[in-house]
Structure 1
Amino acid sequence: MLVTIIAGARPNFMKIAPIIEAIRNAAQQGKDMSYRLIHTGQHYDKKMSGDFFEQLGIPEPDANLEAGGGTQAEQTAAIMVRFEKELLENRPELVLVVGDVTSTMACAITAQKLQIPVAHVEAGIRSGDWAMPEEINRLVTDSITNYFFTTSDIANQNLLNSGIEQERIFFVGNTMIDTLLKQMPKFQQPPFWQELGLKEKEYLVMTLHRPSNVDDAEQLKSLLDVLEQGTEQLPIIFPMHPRTRNNIEKFGIKLNNVKVVDPLGYLEFNYLVQHAKGVVTDSGGITEETTVMGVPCMTLRTSTERPETCTIGTNELIGTNPKALEKALEVLFAGNWKKGGIPKLWDGHTAERIVEHLCTIFEVNVVEGSTAV
């Protein structure tokens, strides 16, 4: 059985690494299973791509579609045109997509047009906010998926509510947590740790990328003002995309406690998160990692597709009002942040369960004459 695995953007890489490892392990045990890794090139700078492949032990892609850049429509079209050629030349039994980026949706559509079954890892998550491009990607992908691998009971219910049959839904857990737990012993102190005089639980980490937070001058300035004034003089480490850095310069925002650093690799960034007093973010994936590491997390959004990080984990959805951030920081510094727990099946064995299900679905057996034990 040949499985074509899609990686396009930074969040995908953490999700595919354990799946590749599980397929390799199945093959070593004699199962008739192999994979072909396709990088769409949706994210293509070194920190978004190369470093992650190296640090997570992901092999060089079998093909890079180099479809980065352009508008949403241009990128979707480029991925579909190039992926169609790839599938015609190397037709698999299954296309496996992960997450909710443009590549996820584009490759799922292309595969189905060629009547190749699609499996979606991290299926069924919903924010309810159609203004998010990711939400459109999720809805479209799940509407044409054959096999759904889910991270939570909430995702299961979302799929059932949309009419998906129970027998096509497989609750397996979270592959991103597989990667986190495996890589945790390898986390690396970032090079600026000594330079900035960072100490355990005596700094915050911030990540912002959503246009509503970083492209609006008043909003960005208000959020940064709260952080400058409401963190008891502790430094806030802000790995920043060049576009956001340009906005700060353009808007004339002066920073003191907020320390801007370049984007970090996986091992350095998660070292920073693991040892932080708290995290301020508008990302979804980081809320999962902070939940497992037990780090307080404040999410600057009005909706989340990962509600289990709030109901079970250490995350709080505080909205985009800077006043709400101010109150959340007061709770953190008063020592009253919730302890949180870890959602069911976020245990480091999700990819193994996915591959086991695929072997059952596609009746993958041990190859005759195999010497595997």
Structure 2
Amino acid sequence: MVGISAFVPGPKPLQIVTILGTRPQLVKAKAVSAVIAATPGVEERIIHTGQHFDPQMSDTFIDELGLPQPVANLGIHGGGHGAMTGRMMVALEPILADSRADVALVYGDTNSALAGALVAAKLGLPLVHVEAGLRSFNRAMPEEVNRVLIDHLSTLLFCPTLRSVANLADEGIVDGVIHVGDVMYDVALAMSSRAQAESTILARLALEPGHYAVATLHRAEGTSSAEKLSQALDFLRDRARVMPVVLPLHPRTRQTCELFGLGLDDLTVCEPLGYLDMTRLVSSSALVMTDSGGLQKEAYFHRVPCVTLRDETEWPETIECGWNRLWKAPDYQTRRDIDDFGDGRAANRIIQAILDRFTTSDHG
């Protein structure tokens, strides 16, 4: 991941303000922020909403990934989706209004991304959406509502796959849509060897490579009721009869398990892991089981089969190419590579496109 050398800076650098707040967004930002830092004539300031506040899901990721320290951490988390998003908007508006930024950038489909997108739109600040065009076609998912709204507010929409480009076209969005590949693949390529060399997670958990499974479970749709959460845990326990199942436990999932009186027996439970430990854990596993969108892809990046603990996915490419299946659906299709995720230079394409679109005579 290197800078864009073709751009000759003018007297005023292009100012990008990035709004993020969750572990997956920090991973995506690793790729883009590294290219920004290496590119003359463009500067970035990061605002962290605090949506993921556990140190293992925030501070550890910032340190391990070598991200710039956020200029502000709003410390906003918890509560309902509307309340959280509203509080974020109230806190973000004066910061963005005073930022003198040229562009606002958001990642993915979180409440942090939606809050940033709405404030930017109301301030007339051009919006860039990285990981645009994903659709599960399930409007009961808060993330799906967030994706649609962010995409319809964006000026530049960077798509990880050709399917996401087609999804946007179906909604009448074609201007500013660019297929760049997946920034998480950029990071996986850049960090995998370091994770292999530095992580001690397998020794700490007494795991043998290729003889255990990894699971994550945190989305509201699967953890908001005792029945749904119990079904998911039973699915994991069934697999644990065959091999150890490691479950890095999200704080919200821990709370809901306690609330519903659901035990975690038969599972190897640990605290949330940093990026290097999680990468090593996934890459050396025999199977990934998750309700996370990002981990479905990360499993494929390391060529580990995945079971998605949901009834649909925003990454149908992983199912069509045989690396993923839905937990209640038929077995895997024939496996083949997924070309859409790119060659590890998605972040370079993103920054070049931003410069091409927003550089004016004032910026050289």
TM-score (norm 2): 0.88
1:334 alignment partner in structure 2: none
> Measured at CA, do residues 259 and 162 of structure 1 come closer, stay the same or move farther in structure 2, by a change above 3 Å?
same
Which secondary structure state, in structure 2, belongs to the residue aligned with residue 185 of structure 1? helix
**Runs of at least 4 residues of structure 1 off by over 6 A?**
364-368
Q: Distance in 2 between the 1:193 and 1:33 partners?
A: 40
2:206 pairs with 1:193:
no
Q: Distance in 2 between the 1:175 and 1:155 partners?
A: 14
> Measured at CA, do residues 86 and 314 of structure 1 come closer, stay the same or move farther in structure 2, by a change above 3 Å?
same
Q: Paired residue for 1:346, among 319, 342, 348?
A: 342
Q: Distance in 2 between the 1:71 and 1:82 partners?
A: 17
Moved more, 266-275 or 231-240: 231-240
Deviations along 1:114-155, one digit per CA (max 9) or x if unpaired, are: 111111111111111111111111111111111111011111
Which secondary structure state, in structure 2, belongs to the residue aligned with residue 22 of structure 1? helix
Count matched residues.
350
1:3 alignment partner in structure 2: 16
2:77 pairs with 1:77:
no
1:150 alignment partner in structure 2: 159
1:273 corresponds to which letter in structure 2? V
**Where does structure 1 lack aligned partners over 5 or more consecutive residues?**
332-336, 369-373
Q: Distance in 2 between the 1:74 and 1:250 partners?
A: 22
- Mapping of 1:195-214 within 5 angstroms? 196-214=205-223
Deviations along 1:33-67, one digit per CA (max 9) or x if unpaired, are: 11111111121120121011001110111222222
Cα RMSD of the aligned pairs, angstroms, is: 2.4
> Measured at CA, do residues 73 and 280 of structure 1 come closer, stay the same or move farther in structure 2, by a change above 3 Å?
same
> Measured at CA, do residues 69 and 219 of structure 1 come closer, stay the same or move farther in structure 2, by a change above 3 Å?
closer
Q: Distance in 1 between the 2:280 and 2:118 partners?
A: 37
Identity %: 37
2:222–2:310 contact (8 Å) kept in structure 1: no
Q: Paired residue for 2:273, among 264, 280, 285?
A: 264
Q: Paired residue for 1:16, among 15, 29, 32?
A: 29
Q: Distance in 2 between the 1:226 and 1:67 partners?
A: 33
Shift of residue 196 of structure 1?
Answer: 4.0
TM-score (norm 1): 0.86
2:3 alignment partner in structure 1: none
- Mapping of 1:1-373 within 5 angstroms? 1-27=14-40, 32-165=41-174, 167-187=175-195, 193-194=202-203, 196-249=205-258, 253=262, 257-312=266-321, 314-319=323-328, 338-363=334-359
Moved more, 283-292 or 256-265: 256-265
> Measured at CA, do residues 278 and 303 of structure 1 come closer, stay the same or move farther in structure 2, by a change above 3 Å?
same
2:355 corresponds to which letter in structure 1? C
Shift of residue 225 of structure 1?
Answer: 3.6
1:39–1:63 contact (8 Å) kept in structure 2: yes
1:371 alignment partner in structure 2: none
Shift of residue 171 of structure 1?
Answer: 0.7
Q: Distance in 2 between the 1:6 and 1:276 partners?
A: 33
**Pair member with larger Rg:** 1
